[in-house]
Structure 1
Amino acid sequence: MNEPMDFSKCVVWITGASSGIGAALATQLAKRGSSLVLSARDTSALESVRNECLRNGATPDTVMVLPLDVLDIDAMADRTAEVVAQFGRIDLLLNNAGVSQRSTCVDTDLSVYRQMLDINVLGPIALSKAVLPMMLKQGSGTIAVTSSVAGKVGAPLRTGYCAAKHAVMGFFDALRTEIGPLGLQVTTITPGFIRTNVARNALNAQGKAAGMSDDDIEGGMSADECATAIIEGFVAGLPEIAVGKGPEMALLDLKRTDPEAAFRMLEEMAVKSGAIAVPHRQH
């Protein structure tokens, strides 16, 4: 177990804070008295989230808008220094920025796989490495990452996304073994289907935004409900926070207890999606 987190005393840096889970987390943490650093590429959207935080109890000196593209690895040391200059410390780095995928492997350009790994894996690794020396110096801190149920099981139309999210789980689980004995903590978050723009923003086979949602996402947990569950997980000291309400959450246990059944279930999901054309067999 991790140490329970008291958010009223925390400086929290959230990437992917301009919408979805990141924005919901920022708004709820403002109510709890956290000092917030909001990062994403879209400055105007970040300002809107900042204003929402101010309406929910934050003050101008406790919310910092810090534009950041997680692909801009060279900028991360300077952005980290800016946060420390503003607040003096970082108690929680929440690597939440990411992008999904909606395309079959056979159709997907290799450049899409590179984007999946660069955005979802190398970005969080680079920012964590930039923040880690400061946390080691202060002798405390938590590094967290938003992975996915897709970081535990393989899902159709998401080969690149699953590869990236599995890699994220492996990296941060391994990081926990190295920094846990030094007084630092790692938290991994595995959401299921959450009602955000994740499907609309997902990359298609050519690396363009898919531009449409899907029934699984639209029927999922709201971003606010998800943020509440994540925060409760931090308060409870959970090192891994699974959050969702749909049948996809059962896959986390099924993959361990009956992997064959999990594989068959996911194959059926692929066929039902309509993206997999199964040839008719003549008898």
Structure 2
Amino acid sequence: MSFLGKKVWITGASSGIGAGLARELAAQGAHLLLSARREDELHKVQAECLERHGPIDILIHCAGVSQRALARDTISEVDRAIMEINYFGTVELTRAVLPSMLARKQGQLVVVSSVAGKIGTPLRSSYSASKHALLGYFDCLRAEVYQDGISVTIVCPGYIDTEIGSKAYTGDGGRYGKLEGVLHHGMPVQECARVILRAVARREPEVVVSRAKERTAVYLRRFFPKLLFRLVRTHIPS
């Protein structure tokens, strides 16, 4: 599938994977609608590739927030805020766009979940829960709308070189505010964007975008869960 002339809405487009996808799609001739919570950063991306368009061909959900806190230290307001942004916001926007896709019998929904939606690791309990929820909801929706000509692609990134960690919630609702080496040495954003778009173009139902280490972890979770659980608990901070 070519993206030339396609009308694509990207949420979370002001930074990270969303911004990377916007730049790649603009270079391939797509017509873009970009939205984000940080208006000042969004304008930087907008200046490069935003154009006016009509009905949506592809909706890409990239908006999200992470977490860096033990479950026992996380207040319920943080749990709810993460679910509102990562899960409920995604579902509600899908609900708003879906009727027009159903009416035209075409469209594609692309949901950026995470490897954390498959594997739970320390300090990310609510974040991981929200990403697991996305997998469950959109797996169901994929089956429901298949006969209507609508496809659903779920993207599960591993470590990508973004600032998601520094913007993550701490247990009391503050921001983590630190750059993480494991992310800084992760896959470059533009490489990640290109991998995602190849999967979208092929209408793949799911793609894990990561280096070999995270893909191995997904394999272990499926076939050797006890081994993975032992490995994960060695990373609990003291």
Within 5 Å, give how 1:1-283 maps onto structure 2. Answer: 5-53=1-49, 63-64=50-51, 87-270=53-236, 275=237, 277=238
Does the 8 Å contact 2:110/2:200 carry over to 1? Answer: no
Taking the aligned partners of 1:181 and 1:244, their CA distance within structure 2 comes to: 31
- Listed one character per residue, the Cα deviations across residues 67-119 of structure 1 (whole Å, up to 9, x for unaligned) are xxxxxxxxxxxxxxxxxxx5231010001100000000111111111011111
Taking the aligned partners of 1:261 and 1:52, their CA distance within structure 2 comes to: 46
Q: Which letter does structure 1 place at the counterpart of 2:68?
A: R
Over aligned residues, Cα RMSD in angstroms?
1.1
Taking the aligned partners of 2:72 and 2:63, their CA distance within structure 1 comes to: 27
Q: Any unmatched runs of 5+ in structure 1?
A: 54-62, 65-85, 278-283
Other structure's SS at 1:202 match:
coil
Taking the aligned partners of 2:180 and 2:47, their CA distance within structure 1 comes to: 30
Displacement of 1:42 after TM fit? 2.2
Does the 8 Å contact 1:24/1:224 carry over to 2? Answer: yes
Taking the aligned partners of 2:48 and 2:54, their CA distance within structure 1 comes to: 24
Q: Report the counterpart of residue 76 of structure 1 in structure 2.
A: none
Does the 8 Å contact 1:147/1:188 carry over to 2? Answer: yes
Other structure's SS at 2:34 match:
strand
Does the 8 Å contact 1:193/1:246 carry over to 2? Answer: no
Displacement of 1:241 after TM fit? 1.5
Taking structure 2 as the reference length, the TM-score comes to 0.97
Q: Which letter does structure 2 place at the counterpart of 1:51?
A: A
Displacement of 1:236 after TM fit? 2.6
Alignment coverage as a number of residue pairs: 238
- Listed one character per residue, the Cα deviations across residues 18-44 of structure 1 (whole Å, up to 9, x for unaligned) are 011101100010110000001002222
Could you tell which deviates more after superposition, 243-252 or 90-99? 243-252
Displacement of 1:246 after TM fit? 4.8
Does the 8 Å contact 1:30/1:36 carry over to 2? Answer: yes
Does the 8 Å contact 2:66/2:165 carry over to 1? Answer: yes
Other structure's SS at 1:229 match:
helix
Does the 8 Å contact 2:166/2:176 carry over to 1? Answer: yes
Taking the aligned partners of 2:203 and 2:83, their CA distance within structure 1 comes to: 29
Does the 8 Å contact 1:135/1:141 carry over to 2? Answer: yes
Larger radius of gyration: 1
Q: Which letter does structure 1 place at the counterpart of 2:44?
A: S
Q: Which letter does structure 1 place at the counterpart of 2:35?
A: S
Taking the aligned partners of 2:167 and 2:198, their CA distance within structure 1 comes to: 28
Taking the aligned partners of 1:160 and 1:147, their CA distance within structure 2 comes to: 13
Displacement of 1:126 after TM fit? 0.1
Q: Any unmatched runs of 5+ in structure 2?
A: none
Displacement of 1:6 after TM fit? 1.8
Displacement of 1:269 after TM fit? 2.1
